[in-house]
Structure 1
Amino acid sequence: MTHYTDLSPYSYDESSRDMLNVGWLGPEHEYTTGVVDQRVVQALVTLSTAYENQMRGFHHCAFCDADRLWVSDSPGGGTRTWLGSAEIRVEGEDGILYASPNLIIHYITEHQYFPPEDFCRAAVRTAGIETTGPLTLVD
């Protein structure tokens, strides 16, 4: 998958709106690690069912070579969303739009990726989850 520095201008695909990249990771590039509040993960799983910018193939995780990753929107199974073929897009209160690969969920839960706080707040807000306090904690 293509690597983009967090908060750099989005250029993966054409869009009618300006966006910022978040979570486009590659093993040859360092990334920030930390603890992300479970509300962020819950929000991203919920938002992943929207299939923004759906592609035909799948990217697998280049860090652990896991293949055909998926998440479910409920503990009992619910809606299964395959990771590695679509984006999650969220808008912050300030109107900034963020684009991330849906593999960001795996990066956070399995590789301790620490996305920018503003992105986390935007994801939780977009998903309609109540927030108070910080959503990320640096290791």
Structure 2
Amino acid sequence: MTAYAYDASDQEMLNVGWLAPDYAFRTGIVDDRVINALKALSSAYDNQTRGVHDCEFCPTERPVILGGPAFDTQVWLGSAEIRAQDTDGIVYSAPNLVIHYITEHRYCPPEEFCRAVVRTAGMDGPDELVLAD
């Protein structure tokens, strides 16, 4: 939830999900709607980079998922961002590898980010979307 400073951007954003082994992160259960919303948004490849960032928590090499609005697009994780905007206009930026962090390493992002992702993807639902340990 720090100010985004990874790359030049014309809009203010907050970072979410930029994880590293030397720093603790919240774990828990994340509602499937959040995961599905992230997958739906993943094919936009916001801020696509030329390099790849592999998961630093496991030996998985460049995870791939089925994403996009119809969940039928092969999306490679580790070289782009997912962006979501909440109702207050706050924009969040997360590495698309956040999907892997949630599903494989139990990362539990902030509730406001989860709500923004579900909203941005057009998947309405109840307010409770995460359950932290």
Which residue of the other structure, out of 46, 50, 57, is the alignment partner of 2:51? 57
Q: How does 1:98-113 map to 2 (within 5 A)?
A: 98-113=92-107
Aligned residues: 132
The 3-state SS of whatever aligns with 1:99 is: strand
| 1:131 partner amino acid | G
Which residue of the other structure, out of 90, 95, 104, is the alignment partner of 2:89? 95
2:127 & 2:90 partners in 1: Cα distance?
Answer: 21
Once the two structures are TM-superposed, the CA of residue 133 in structure 1 deviates from its matched residue by 3.6
| 2:64 partner amino acid | W
1:46 & 1:133 partners in 2: Cα distance?
Answer: 19
- Does 2:72 match 1:72? no
Contact conserved, 2:25 with 2:107, CA < 8 A, in 1?
A: yes
The 3-state SS of whatever aligns with 2:104 is: helix
Which residue of the other structure, out of 4, 8, 13, is the alignment partner of 2:2? 8
CA RMSD of aligned residues (A): 1.4
1:133 & 1:32 partners in 2: Cα distance?
Answer: 19
- Does 2:18 match 1:24? yes
Once the two structures are TM-superposed, the CA of residue 125 in structure 1 deviates from its matched residue by 0.4
Once the two structures are TM-superposed, the CA of residue 132 in structure 1 deviates from its matched residue by 1.2
Give CA deviations for 1:42-97 in whole Å, capped at 9, x if unaligned: 000000000100001211100002112111038xx721000000000100001000
How does the TM-score come out when normalised to structure 2? 0.95
Gaps of 5+ in 2: none
Percent sequence identity over aligned pairs: 55
2:94 & 2:67 partners in 1: Cα distance?
Answer: 18
Spell out structure 1 runs of 4+ moving beyond 4 A. none
1:91 & 1:26 partners in 2: Cα distance?
Answer: 24
2:78 & 2:55 partners in 1: Cα distance?
Answer: 8
1:82 & 1:16 partners in 2: Cα distance?
Answer: 26
What residue is the counterpart of 2:122 in the other structure? 128
